[in-house]
């Protein structure tokens, strides 16, 4: 039995990246750029802002909207830097503010769990829950004034719903932060998953103890995961840890200081040198969307989140797609011990393509090539 299962797994590892490539080719079949809505927590000088710029700079992508949420930073700070990043590239892209807080989780709940059950696992990162309020106000990048671009009058959830209707059947949703904005959108428009062509998610973890995007708002994450998205890819923290943002890679990717974007990025990273040598979580997710051949191995899994108020709040639950369902409520899962929960069949949920191994050298070349693209539009940015 185990030999048969191993053969099936290896066949999936070979087949799923091929299907992802076919998906990408279908999106580009008419020669148009792929329409993307990105939702993320745009902290400055980090994987957040670099991945947003990567999407904006890609010649293969048309970013039609940016939804912003708190998470790694406050909503106010994230909005400031998201607006400035869009303005930096000279694009006419609406940027909408989303949730400043989770549905139920919050700083008090986080501190209570830590007091009861000990520190958060992994790197212990608490995002805006663990920061001093004085660190959460927007700070200008050295040498640059505040963005002149104004935020959309719509909320992030409203903007996503509008763009999904306008580009029905062709919009790609890329989520790189907590899932509260998207959860609100699907609750307001239950047909949203049918309008979206495909979903790429950076969140969760299979074996490493780190967690953040699901953990920040586990209730929203579970709402998101229970939707019948049609084509869906998750990059968990495990696979992202195969990458590393080094000063050498930064120097290769950043345009020369003679360019506006080059000066902006160098100023950002000079103020956030602690971001070096960290995984490229969000950039890798964007990279897999841009180039499916980055995926060397993947697995087909049903994915959920522990949203109980205990010590495992926000932990990823997962089940192989060939296990039968069980009756009753969700239970913590391991690879072999549990059947998948009832809501998978009730909601007609398909398994996620979970990326497990990527071609890191190929990804780094893609990152350098994309980030060093010349600006396609004239940016009106106030330099000091």
Rounded distance between C-alpha atoms, residue 213 and residue 204, angstroms: 7
Could you say which DSSP state residue 227 is in?
S
CA distances for 258 relative to 170, 238, 261, angstroms: 37, 37, 9
Beta bridge partners of 352: 301
DSSP 296-324: EEEEEEEEEE--SSSTTTT-EEEEETTSP
Based on its alpha-carbon atoms, the radius of gyration of the chain, rounded to whole angstroms, reads: 20
* 230 touches 198 (CB < 8 A): yes
Q: What is the pTM of this model?
A: 0.88
Q: Look at strands 61-68 and 232-235 and give their pairing.
A: unpaired
Alpha helices in the chain (DSSP H): 2-27, 47-57, 75-88, 107-117, 156-166, 180-188, 192-195, 213-216, 218-225, 237-240, 247-253, 260-270, 281-290, 343-346, 360-371
Dihedral sign from CA coordinates of 270, 272, 278, 281: negative
Tens digits of pLDDT across the chain (384 residues): 345 445 455 555 555 555 555 555 555 555 689 999 999 999 887 899 999 999 999 999 999 999 999 999 999 999 999 999 999 888 889 999 999 999 999 888 998 998 999 888 787 888 888 876 666 788 888 888 899 999 999 999 999 999 999 999 999 999 999 999 999 999 999 999 999 999 999 999 999 988 999 999 999 999 999 999 999 999 999 999 999 999 999 989 987 777 888 888 888 888 877 778 899 999 999 999 999 999 999 999 999 999 988 889 999 999 887 765 444 344 444 444 456 777 777 777 889 999 999 999 999 999 999 998 877 655 556 554
Whole-number pLDDT of residue 119? 86
């Amino acid at each position: 039995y185990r030999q048969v299962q191993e053969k099936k797994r290896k066949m999936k590892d070979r087949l799923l990246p091929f299907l992802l490539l076919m998906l990408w080719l279908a999106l580009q079949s008419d020669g148009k750029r792929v329409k993307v809505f990105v939702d993320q927590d745009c902290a400055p000088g980090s994987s957040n802002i670099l991945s947003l710029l990567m999407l904006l700079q890609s010649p293969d992508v048309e970013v039609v909207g940016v939804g912003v949420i708190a998470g790694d930073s406050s909503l106010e700070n994230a909005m400031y830097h998201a607006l400035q990043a869009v303005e930096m590239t000279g694009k006419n892209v609406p940027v909408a503010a989303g949730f400043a807080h989770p549905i139920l989780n919050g700083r008090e709940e986080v501190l209570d769990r830590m007091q009861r059950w000990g520190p958060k696992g992994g790197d212990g990162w608490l995002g805006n829950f663990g920061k001093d309020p004085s660190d959460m106000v927007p700070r200008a990048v050295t040498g640059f004034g505040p963005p002149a671009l104004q935020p959309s009058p719509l909320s992030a959830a409203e903007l996503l719903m509008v763009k999904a209707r306008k580009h029905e059947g062709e919009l790609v949703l890329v989520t790189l932060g907590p899932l509260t904005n998207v959860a609100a959108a699907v609750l307001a428009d239950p047909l949203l998953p049918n309008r979206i062509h495909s979903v790429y998610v950076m969140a969760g973890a299979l074996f490493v103890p780190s967690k953040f995007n699901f953990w920040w708002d586990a209730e929203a994450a579970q709402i998101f995961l229970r939707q019948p998205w049609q084509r869906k890819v998750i990059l968990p923290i495990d696979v992202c840890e195969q990458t590393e943002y080094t000063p050498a890679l930064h120097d290769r990717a950043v345009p020369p200081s003679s360019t506006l974007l080059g000066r902006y990025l160098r100023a950002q990273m000079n103020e956030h040198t602690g971001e070096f040598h960290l995984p490229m979580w969000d950039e890798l997710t964007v990279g897999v969307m841009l180039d499916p051949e980055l995926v060397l191995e993947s697995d087909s899994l049903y994915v959920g989140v522990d949203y109980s108020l205990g010590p495992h709040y926000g932990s990823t639950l997962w089940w192989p797609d060939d296990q039968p369902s069980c009756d009753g409520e969700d239970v913590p899962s391991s690879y072999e011990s549990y059947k998948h929960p009832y809501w998978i069949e009730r909601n007609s949920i398909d398994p996620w393509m979970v990326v497990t191994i990527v071609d890191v050298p190929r990804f780094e070349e893609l990152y350098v090539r994309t980030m060093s693209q010349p600006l396609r539009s004239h940016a009106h940015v106030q330099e000091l």
